[in-house]
A and B are shown apart, each in its own frame.
Chain A
Amino acid sequence: MAVIKLNLKDLNKLSGFEIEKEELMQRLPLLGCDIEGIDGDYVYVEFFPNRPDLYSVEGVARALRNFFGFKKGLREYKLLPPKTYIKVDESVEKIRPYVVSCEVENVRLNHELILELMDLQEDLHWVLGRDRKKVSIGVHDPSRVKPPFRYTAIIDRDIKFVPLGMAEEMSPVQILEKHPKGKDYAHIISGHNKYPFILDSEGNVLSLPPVINGELTKVSEKTEKLFVDITGTDFDLISKALNILSTAFLERGFRVYQVEVRYKNKTVITPDYTPEEKDISLDYVNNILGLSISGEEAVEALERMGYGAFSAGNSLKVEIPAYRSDIFHPVDIVEDIAIGYGYENFDAKLPDIATTGEEDSLEEKCRKLRKLLVGYSLSEVMSLMLSNEKENFESMFVEGEAVTIKNPISEDHTIVRTSLLPSLLNVLRINRHHELPQKIFEIGDILIPYKELPEGAKAERHLAIVLIHSKAGFTEIKSIAEALMRDLGLEYKVEAEEHGSFILGRCARIVAGGKPAGYFGELRPEVIIAFDLEYPVVAMEINVEQI
């Protein structure tokens, strides 16, 4: 998520009213954000991914002006008519079909503003553009290029230019192979024999979207005019990005000129701030929020969130600001009414739904089992389900198949355990320097691949016990196993079992109600040694669902 560095002085200047730092710190989270830290005149704020319009100090100033009630309702921006155009060639259609654009004048930049502008661009790339796939932005100083512009795709051998940060001309293929940005973003446009370019009327390169701009139009503190191109795969999304960026310029007092974008079949003029209108019913709002607010109150709340709003009877007419990219459904407007109304102003009440709670039967059984086992003087431990082949199989001298992770984060966690015993032996390993005897149990889940289920894997709830001390032996674990069967009132039989982890002839199978439920016995010295232990260990593992 995007963390924005807010310059408080700049914020006050842009919003047009003074906000005390303390008040800001208190109220800002109620607009929807987490305050990450304060450093003198700077506040670091994390805004949520649904509100990229707040990813700039200009956007935050606009929101606060509304939210604090200084100036409410839909903000009217003055856009100046186009002075130039971009012609879109059909050749980009299959590669990256859309472009929108604007020109900016009366520009005054300094080092900090340039950095903020770059941050905003990167945040929009990430959040709206999914790392430039859907949206990529080029901001240029157009003083050395000549309008009008072209958006077209060109084959590698026909074009060369000096990309940002380089001294020499490179072809698109060279850039994608050698330039760091080229390597990062090659995957978005490769697979075609042509590459998309924004060119001026003389064929000079402004950018190779979504990869890199040309050195020719690099923005500096001396820059007085800007030219913006935004390309992508979704026209609405790039339009929102342009609206967010260009209204930020307007908030700062720059002049924004529209640009004509000439597609083959139609011409559009961008940016376009016409608000989308939605009618929603007041009942719908009150129903979701559990409130009974009036139309006026709803309008007031909407205006605090920057909407234009009118109420008539049960109906609300809502104008959605053009920079809002997150309004999918009327329910998104309802949330803004809730925020504008103030979460702190809700009357929290319990619903009239009388029900009785029921435990899951397996959980209930496990709760009772734990009570028994603690009574047997066994300490409960809890361990991770993630394991690895070595611990789960090799160290136990057994073989098997486990649910396996495709993208493990470490060698220790590559599979999900198929048995609890390795987990418990691992606990003994951790405690090997502590006093003996140690007697522990765990009731927990294991997973096994299981094709008969749609998910391809099955969870089983197991119970395992291990005891370690110098005289640990078969009889002791048998006593526990039999006590458990007796306490559960189960008919059971004990039969000879062969199991790779146990000494031959010292392992038994428990058959409860005619079904094998688990096994117990003395562990082989090889297993004991594999877990760095030096004392006899007896163990038991049973499937809780079988008893």
Chain B
Amino acid sequence: MQQEELHRHEKLVLKALDRLGMASPEEIVEDAGIEFSSVNRAVSWLSLKGVVEVEDFEDKAIELGEEGKVYVEKGLPERRAFELLNKKGEIELKELNSILSRDEVTIALGWLKRKNLAVIDSGVLKPTDNGMKERETPDEELLLSVMKEGRLLESTLNPELKQAAELLKGRKNVIRIHEVSHRKIRLTEKGRKTIKQGIKIEDEISQLTPEIIKNGTWKNMKFRRYSINTPAPELLPAKLHPLREIVEEIRWIFLKMGFNEISGPMAESAFWNFDALFVPQDHPAREMQDTFYLSNPEKTEIPSDDIVEAVMNAHEGGWKTGSRGWRYKWSREKAMASVLRTHTTSTTIRYLAEGHELPVKVFSLGRVFRNERISFKHLPEFHQCEGIVAGDVGFSHLLGILKKFYSTMGFSQVRFRPAYFPYTEPSLEVDVFLEDKGKWMELGGAGIFRPEVTEPLGIHKPVLAWGLGLERLAMLRLGLKDIRQLYMSDLNWLRRVKVI
């Protein structure tokens, strides 16, 4: 072991051990003259370096209890009784009441007898021969040394005192015993060799200071070598929320792929959320157990124009789309109901209705709401993104875009399965392959908007659309089992979560 590899404190500890042989950290503190924490740190490094050996012992520490403190001051009740007895030769029991409380009298009599210091003979207390000889019993000796030392380790007691400790343990609140572990440190062979090579303790520079730089002392002093593996304090900086990182990543992918970002209202009419998407007015998704309806505002205004009329006709009989329609009486009233949007498709549809020139490539990302009870799996609001491409495109392009989109997100293997959504035909679900789990997971839906959706908006070319929920992706990335964690904003978690 080279000198340079040893910290100043480590050297001091080695020197102390050289003098002390096997020693406890407390003994080293005293000998080496450095702080307890420094000794401990030095010892653990020395032991890592194989220079010292540390042995931990389980032991019992003896301390004074509440009664014990009183006894040390005034003497044990039996001692006080015996002293009176000793002064008077013999006494009547009731005389004890003058120096002891009623409880102490009972205790004193019990122990006088047990220790064979005195006997009771028809109401009179007399000392025994043993009692006359005995000056201090071992239990009293033990109490005194515990008081002096603060605490004593059981392993350091002689057999007589050990027995005394057993006796005192039986007395209420006199001593307290608890388990402790303490350690002994000794040099290893390597340690002894290192010492033999000679240990020189010299002044070293630890913290470089402006003074040292200015006054030039650094030229003649050694820099202490730091243990680079010493743990440094944890830095917990401010960060963006991990879900935000995902939101930004998805936006970035869309932007890179040439999509324009659009936004739309969250408090929405049933018309744009459902009717314009050819979702019939008696569809289960429109029911109260799935959708949040609003009481303020209870109603929205919907335009009295060609689009609304065309949508109505498409529902009732297919309009001129070539569809047979849902064949029921469409209600304007129901379409005016005010809801919290259940998907970002309402935004896409509004955009398509604005009559932009084709081709169109846009996306929107935002919060959507479903009437779901909060659980580890569900929240009543979450983030959804949706992209559309309208123009001279077909189903195979949709698959191509999806492959690109998902591979940019890091899913190299995707597969497509038939699916059903009321407003797309053909429809599909996207499964991505999770390499680490070795299984497929559903992550998004897609399709081509039905003619009953697009024709009333004046769009006569295919519109490809796809979307996915971001929380599911976030949970996958962050390894979360409970979706609620994303919105609990536990700062301990947020400060430590990996940036993905």
Cβ–Cβ contact B296 & A291, under 8 A: no
Q: Which residues of B contact A451 (CB under 8 A)?
A: 297
Cβ–Cβ contact A382 & B451, under 8 A: no
The distance in angstroms between the C-alpha atoms of A351 and B358, with both chains bound, is 13
Enumerate 20 A-B pairs (CB-CB under 8 Å) in ascending A order: A49-B420, A130-B284, A288-B462, A329-B321, A329-B451, A331-B425, A331-B451, A334-B426, A344-B416, A351-B397, A351-B401, A355-B361, A357-B258, A370-B244, A401-B296, A405-B292, A427-B489, A454-B303, A456-B297, A457-B265
Interface residues of B in 299-340 (CB under 8 A from A): 299-303, 318, 321-325, 327, 338, 340
Which are the 9 A-B pairs with shortest beta-carbon distances?
A290-B394, A456-B297, A290-B396, A48-B420, A32-B418, A457-B267, A357-B255, A348-B399, A335-B426
Residue of A nearest to B396 (CB): A290
Choose from A358, A406, A454, A457 the contact partner of B261 (Cβ within 8 Å). A358
Cβ–Cβ contact A362 & B396, under 8 A: no
Q: Which residues of B contact A405 (CB under 8 A)?
A: 292-295, 340
Cβ–Cβ contact B301 & A348, under 8 A: no
Cβ–Cβ contact A445 & B367, under 8 A: yes
Choose from A29, A383, A401, A445 the contact partner of B266 (Cβ within 8 Å). A445
Cβ–Cβ contact A403 & B267, under 8 A: yes
Which of these binds chain A: B38-46, B64-72, B209-217, B373-381?
Answer: B373-381
Q: Which residues of A contact B488 (CB under 8 A)?
A: 430
B241 within 8 A of A: yes
Cβ–Cβ contact B450 & A346, under 8 A: no
Query: What's the nearest-Cβ distance from chain B to residue A259, in Å?
Result: 24
Residue of B nearest to A426 (CB): B489
Complex interface bits, A271-289 against B, C-beta within 8 A gives 1, otherwise 0: 0000000000000001111
Complex interface bits, B366-386 against A, C-beta within 8 A gives 1, otherwise 0: 010101111000011100000
Choose from A331, A335, A383, A409 the contact partner of B371 (Cβ within 8 Å). A409
Cβ–Cβ contact B361 & A353, under 8 A: yes
Which of these binds chain A: B7-15, B144-152, B189-197, B491-499?
Answer: B491-499
Choose from A360, A401, A409, A455 the contact partner of B265 (Cβ within 8 Å). A455
A410 within 8 A of B: yes
The distance in angstroms between the C-alpha atoms of A51 and B419, with both chains bound, is 11
The distance in angstroms between the C-alpha atoms of A403 and B238, with both chains bound, is 33
A523 within 8 A of B: no
Cβ–Cβ contact B260 & A349, under 8 A: no
Choose from A32, A360, A408, A455 the contact partner of B419 (Cβ within 8 Å). A32
Residue of A nearest to B486 (CB): A382
Interface centre among A29, A351, A362, A410 (most CB of B within 10 A): A351
The distance in angstroms between the C-alpha atoms of A32 and B418, with both chains bound, is 5
Cβ–Cβ contact A380 & B244, under 8 A: yes
Cβ–Cβ contact A348 & B296, under 8 A: no
Choose from B381, B389, B442 the contact partner of A351 (Cβ within 8 Å). B389
Residue of A nearest to B397 (CB): A351
A23 within 8 A of B: no
Residue of A nearest to B267 (CB): A457
Choose from B261, B288, B371, B398 the contact partner of A360 (Cβ within 8 Å). B261
The distance in angstroms between the C-alpha atoms of A244 and B196, with both chains bound, is 98
Choose from B259, B303, B400, B450 the contact partner of A349 (Cβ within 8 Å). B400
Residue of B nearest to A326 (CB): B420
Cβ–Cβ contact B417 & A29, under 8 A: yes
Question: Assuming A288-B395, A363-B251, A447-B267, is B294 touching A384 (CB within 8 A)?
Answer: no
Cβ–Cβ contact B269 & A338, under 8 A: no
Residue of B nearest to A131 (CB): B284
Interface residues of A in 351-395 (CB under 8 A from B): 351, 353-360, 362-363, 367, 370, 373-374, 376-386
Interface residues of A in 173-208 (CB under 8 A from B): none
A402 within 8 A of B: yes
A330 within 8 A of B: yes
Q: Which residues of B contact A50 (CB under 8 A)?
A: 420
Q: Which residues of B contact A (CB under 8 A)?
A: 237-241, 243-244, 248, 251, 254-263, 265-269, 282, 284, 288-289, 292-303, 318, 321-325, 327, 338, 340, 359, 361, 367, 369, 371-374, 379-381, 389, 391-404, 415-420, 425-428, 442, 448, 450-452, 462, 486-492, 494-495
Query: What's the nearest-Cβ distance from chain A to residue B4, in Å?
Result: 39
Q: Which residues of A contact B396 (CB under 8 A)?
A: 289-291, 346-349
The distance in angstroms between the C-alpha atoms of A410 and B378, with both chains bound, is 14
Interface residues of A in 441-458 (CB under 8 A from B): 445, 447, 449, 451, 453-457
The distance in angstroms between the C-alpha atoms of A287 and B269, with both chains bound, is 33
The distance in angstroms between the C-alpha atoms of A234 and B372, with both chains bound, is 32
Interface residues of A in 90-149 (CB under 8 A from B): 130, 133
Question: Assuming A377-B237, A457-B297, is B450 touching A329 (CB within 8 A)?
Answer: yes
Cβ–Cβ contact B296 & A234, under 8 A: no
Q: Which residues of B contact A353 (CB under 8 A)?
A: 258, 359, 361, 389, 391, 393
Residue of A nearest to B326 (CB): A328
Query: What's the nearest-Cβ distance from chain A to residue B266, in Å?
Result: 6
Q: Which residues of A contact B297 (CB under 8 A)?
A: 403, 449, 451, 455-457
Q: Which residues of B contact A430 (CB under 8 A)?
A: 488-490
Residue of A nearest to B484 (CB): A384
A350 within 8 A of B: yes
Query: What's the nearest-Cβ distance from chain B to residue A422, in Å?
Result: 13
Q: Which residues of A contact B491 (CB under 8 A)?
A: 379, 427, 431, 434, 438, 440
A404 within 8 A of B: yes
A439 within 8 A of B: yes
A70 within 8 A of B: no
Cβ–Cβ contact A351 & B294, under 8 A: no
Query: What's the nearest-Cβ distance from chain B to residue A404, in Å?
Result: 4
Q: Which residues of A contact B292 (CB under 8 A)?
A: 405-408
Q: Which residues of A contact B294 (CB under 8 A)?
A: 403-406, 457
Cβ–Cβ contact B282 & A130, under 8 A: yes
Choose from A328, A363, A379, A409 the contact partner of B238 (Cβ within 8 Å). A379
Question: Assuming A329-B452, A338-B395, A338-B426, is B321 touching A350 (CB within 8 A)?
Answer: no
A416 within 8 A of B: yes
Query: What's the nearest-Cβ distance from chain B to residue A380, in Å?
Result: 4
Question: Assuming A329-B324, A331-B425, A353-B391, is B261 touching A379 (CB within 8 A)?
Answer: no
Q: Which residues of B contact A334 (CB under 8 A)?
A: 425-426
Query: What's the nearest-Cβ distance from chain B to residue A96, in Å?
Result: 15
The distance in angstroms between the C-alpha atoms of A133 and B282, with both chains bound, is 10
A-B contact sample (7 more), CB < 8 A, given A51-B420, A383-B487, A455-B301: A32-B419, A328-B318, A343-B399, A349-B396, A357-B254, A431-B490, A457-B294
Interface residues of A in 464-490 (CB under 8 A from B): none
Residue of B nearest to A291 (CB): B396
Q: Which residues of A contact B416 (CB under 8 A)?
A: 343-344, 346
A459 within 8 A of B: yes
A261 within 8 A of B: no
Cβ–Cβ contact A454 & B302, under 8 A: yes
A31 within 8 A of B: yes
A495 within 8 A of B: no
Cβ–Cβ contact B241 & A382, under 8 A: yes
A339 within 8 A of B: yes
Cβ–Cβ contact A406 & B418, under 8 A: no
Q: Which residues of A contact B261 (CB under 8 A)?
A: 357-360, 363
The distance in angstroms between the C-alpha atoms of A484 and B473, with both chains bound, is 33
Query: What's the nearest-Cβ distance from chain B to residue A48, in Å?
Result: 4
The distance in angstroms between the C-alpha atoms of A293 and B256, with both chains bound, is 33
Q: Which residues of A contact B322 (CB under 8 A)?
A: 329-330
Residue of A nearest to B427 (CB): A335
Question: Assuming A133-B282, A329-B318, is B400 touching A357 (CB within 8 A)?
Answer: no
Query: What's the nearest-Cβ distance from chain B to residue A184, in Å?
Result: 15
Cβ–Cβ contact B393 & A449, under 8 A: no
Q: Which residues of B contact A406 (CB under 8 A)?
A: 288, 292-295, 298
Query: What's the nearest-Cβ distance from chain B to residue A317, in Å?
Result: 16
The distance in angstroms between the C-alpha atoms of A220 and B66, with both chains bound, is 84
Cβ–Cβ contact A447 & B260, under 8 A: no
The distance in angstroms between the C-alpha atoms of A353 and B492, with both chains bound, is 46
Q: Which residues of B contact A349 (CB under 8 A)?
A: 396-397, 399-400
Q: Which residues of B contact A359 (CB under 8 A)?
A: 251, 255, 261
